[in-house]
Structure 1
Amino acid sequence: MRQHVGWIAGTAAAVLVAAGAVTYAVAGDGGSDAAPAADSADAGFARDMAVHHQQAVEMSYIVRDRTDDVEVRRLAYDIAQTQANQRGMLIGWLDLWELPKVSSDAPMTWMDMGSMASGEDGALMPGMATNTEMKKLGTLSGKQAEVFFLQLMTDHHKGGIHMAEACVKRCEVKVEKRLSQTMVNGQESEILLMADMLRARGAEARR
């Protein structure tokens, strides 16, 4: 339990560091970007990806306590740290822009896909795990937990990449466009890594 608390504290610290760097990051972008509108791609991406990232962090916490495998635990730690950090930046930008962190619009409306957001059993956007899947992950252990986590996270990354690619094309704030491209690059690399990890465990991605 002490290790789990320490891990959460470390991730929380990363979020605070990211949030503290937000103002500098925006100012360092030339300071010429006007605050986007509440219904802009910039705001929509920030809101939706913050929610998407939060679930990835939660999944990483769960699997870390369900296996002793060093490789999987390291990957889960890296994902939690990275996505908690990025989430802090996204929320920080919404604060700087004085925009709401929650919208009445359906998720992904900013990329003309609001009607395609699932909402099924808690899966608010494509790639997100359902409530049932999250509960199942918490009941597994060892190799079963590792495989299910890798499958869930592969799906999760694919959905995240789709959104990040849309921001690269549609967002106007330069620093946010750069962050979204960083997400694409990092998650594509992790998908390849997770495919290798699944094969090593006699499994493969679900779709």
Structure 2
Amino acid sequence: MQRRVQRYGLVPYVVLSGLVLAAAAWPKWPDSASSDVQFARDMSAHHTQAVTMSVTLLKRAADPAVKLLAQDIALTQQAQIGQMSGWLMAWGHPISGSEAPMAGMNPKEMGLATPDEVRQLNSLPVALAERQYLTLMRAHHRGGVAMAQSALNSVERPEVRAFAERTVVAQTSELRAIDALLAQRGQPPAPLPGDTAPMEPMNHE
């Protein structure tokens, strides 16, 4: 009996040891200055503008293809904002940091629309609003792809890396759809930063 107790008594010890080793091997929670935290905050802010523009066109667009694109972007990116906010809370960090999101980045290179351009989507005639939305969203997606590609050089958390990889694939696919919709309107997409030359890596450190 004593031998049996000793033998089974090893089981909790072995299980506990395995859990300790697994915890040690898993990446630690990132600190507030890490690339993972900065990427989550910056991309959330970037997504927020895309959601705002897309909700406007979801209400106003007459072209079913534009309406569907706006719906997909609004739903997908709002869900991703929630995902990134969840990471920050799990890591013990506030949603917003001490400095503004995307601080030090060039807004134009990141594809951010100006406040006036966003407001115009509410007042332009519908056909012009659709065209402006597609043009603005093309620039916006180009900036999002650049941000995600840059993050792949510095983030450490596996879930953040997987997210950035999916962002590059998904937004590149949506860019093709946007280009097709612009071509239907007789507007070949204008070259954007990064179309002919790679953008400089962004510093998230």
TM-score, length-scaled by structure 1:
0.76
2:37 is equivalent to residue 53 of structure 1: no
> Which one has a bigger Cα radius of gyration?
2
Q: Residue 33 of structure 1 aligns with which residue?
A: 27
2:167 is equivalent to residue 180 of structure 1: no
List runs of 5+ in structure 2 lacking aligned partners.
1-21, 193-205
Question: In structure 2, what is the Cα distance between the partners aligned to 1:136 and 1:204?
Answer: 22
Q: One-letter code of the match for 1:147? A: R
Deviation (angstroms), 1:55? 0.9
Q: Deviations over 1:60-81 (max 9, x none)?
A: 0111222221100001001111
Alignment of 1:81-92 (within 5 A): 81-92=75-86
List runs of 5+ in structure 1 lacking aligned partners.
1-29, 109-113
Q: One-letter code of the match for 1:80? A: A
Q: List structure 1 runs of 4+ shifted beyond 6 angstroms.
A: none
Deviation (angstroms), 1:192? 1.0
Find the residue that maps to 2:60 and give its secondary structure. coil
2:197 is equivalent to residue 199 of structure 1: no
Contact kept? 1:41, 1:171, Cα under 8 Å: yes
Q: Residue 7 of structure 1 aligns with which residue?
A: none
Contact kept? 1:38, 1:100, Cα under 8 Å: no
Contact kept? 2:111, 2:143, Cα under 8 Å: yes
Q: Residue 115 of structure 1 aligns with which residue?
A: 104
Q: Residue 16 of structure 1 aligns with which residue?
A: none
Find the residue that maps to 2:112 and give its secondary structure. coil
Deviation (angstroms), 1:106? 5.2
Q: Residue 13 of structure 1 aligns with which residue?
A: none
Contact kept? 2:183, 2:189, Cα under 8 Å: no
Higher mean C-alpha deviation, range 61-70 or range 87-96: 61-70
2:61 is equivalent to residue 67 of structure 1: yes
Q: Residue 135 of structure 2 aligns with which residue?
A: 151
Alignment of 1:10-25 (within 5 A): none
Identity %: 37
Question: In structure 2, what is the Cα distance between the partners aligned to 1:162 and 1:199?
Answer: 23
Question: In structure 1, what is the Cα distance between the partners aligned to 2:182 and 2:79?
Answer: 26
Q: One-letter code of the match for 2:43? A: M
TM-score, length-scaled by structure 2:
0.76
Question: In structure 2, what is the Cα distance between the partners aligned to 1:65 and 1:204?
Answer: 26
Find the residue that maps to 1:170 and give its secondary structure. coil
Residue number among 122, 126, 139 corresponding to 1:142 in the alignment? 126
Find the residue that maps to 1:126 and give its secondary structure. coil
Question: In structure 1, what is the Cα distance between the partners aligned to 2:100 and 2:170?
Answer: 27
How big is the alpha-carbon RMSD for the aligned residues of Structure 1 and Structure 2?
1.8
Question: In structure 1, what is the Cα distance between the partners aligned to 2:67 and 2:182?
Answer: 14
Contact kept? 1:67, 1:141, Cα under 8 Å: no
Deviation (angstroms), 1:154? 0.4
Deviation (angstroms), 1:107? 3.9
Find the residue that maps to 1:154 and give its secondary structure. helix
Deviation (angstroms), 1:202? 1.1
Deviation (angstroms), 1:100? 2.2
Contact kept? 2:110, 2:147, Cα under 8 Å: no
